[in-house]
Amino acid sequence: MKGVLALEDGRVFEGVAFGAGGVREGEIVFNTTMTGYQEVLTDPSYNGQIVAMTYPLIGNYGTNEQDVESDRPQVEGFVVRQYCPFPSNFASRWPLADYLAANGVVAVTEVDTRALTRHVRDRGAMRAVIAAGDDHPPEALVERARAGRGLVGVDLVRNVTCPEPYVYADPGGDALHAVVLDFGVKRSILRCLAAMGMKVTVVPARTTAAEVLALRPDGVLLSNGPGDPEGVPYAVRTTRELIGRTPLFGICLGHEFIGLALGGVMRKLKFGHRGANHPVRELATGRVCITCQNHGFNLEADSFDDAEVEVTHLNLNDMTAAGLRHRSLPVASVQYHPEASAGPHDARYLFGRFEEMMRSERNRAAHA
């Protein structure tokens, strides 16, 4: 069956469809991760996007029930150079094509992903349409892509947040209590917190600051998630109201909400940072970590008027801000994924810093 990827600027890439049939719209982006395609597919941060993998061979270890970051694939479409239909791995349950078909994901293989990646790198991420079937004229798909809404100013968080609060882990006793504002949280983040012996409560994105504080958290984690942070004003408002009242740690989209709440300026990156090989330097120590990143928007490093706000990390590929903290309040965040999944675990120490911040504030309150 024929597969087509049509971009809003008129460029068309043809290939062979695998996965589900039909037509889907989204923003075309590329990911440079060599492994971990199932984690990429199920990461809620990719909601609203068509993902092209730069690594040429995808599907060789199949799919399973463990390596997922949410309850279903979140991408609008999937593009690869070569699909492997015969996976070989002890944990594999389904070939990738079967997994995509069962979950309604349109995918195309036999695409020149090197040419596609260079095109997106040079022209920027843009609206696109992916189609599987022999009755989809490319010209009509290009027009449909041009008529698409794009991601700027759109609230995609509502598509991926949990509908109701729930307790993910509760070891009992005197455990620290972390409340996670779910903007599309990856399961690996929750696993990291639970592995540290914390009680973990997850709440929907529209939970107010008062409702969060009523849970008596020792700290609040603002999770990753999809899209434009300025399209989610209620999350920025909640973040602003939480600052100074409980320790905050933001990851990716959560980092952007903290930055906006502290007066920072957001911009859309030309083609974003997506992959597991992004070097980041911690300015205070000089330590360099290889990080997993997945975002299309970024805070301007020099946009903070408040001298109390400090940029703590830089992405060494383009020298953009990759972390910040407040000098006098328990607030810190990073523009990347310390939990990785997929990717290296260089930055997992940041969860330990969040724990230290929570414990310090608990001790301070006990002796106040």
Active site residues: 252, 337, 339
**DSSP letters for 63-130:** B-SSS-SSSS---SEEE-SEE-SS---TT--B-HHHHHHHTT-EEEES--HHHHHHHHHHH-SEEEEE
Q: Which residues contact 37 (CB under 8 A, 6 or more apart)?
A: 53, 58, 59, 96, 342
Q: Which residues contact 277 (CB under 8 A, 6 or more apart)?
A: 32, 33, 290, 343
Give bridge partners of residue 266 from the DSSP assignment. Answer: 299
Report the alpha-carbon distance of residue 284 to residue 211 in Å, rounded: 35
**DSSP letters for 199-229:** EEEEEETT--HHHHHHT--SEEEEP--SS-G
Closest among 221, 191, 232, 202 to 39, alpha carbons compared: 191
Cβ proximity of 248 and 258 under 8 Å: yes
Report the alpha-carbon distance of residue 336 to residue 347 in Å, rounded: 9
Closest among 297, 195, 315, 286 to 255, alpha carbons compared: 297
Q: Which residues contact 119 (CB under 8 A, 6 or more apart)?
A: 7, 11
Alpha-carbon torsion, ordered 182, 351, 244, 220, to 10 deg: 30
Report the alpha-carbon distance of residue 80 to residue 41 in Å, rounded: 12
Report the alpha-carbon distance of residue 365 to residue 368 in Å, rounded: 5
Q: How many residues does the chain have?
A: 368
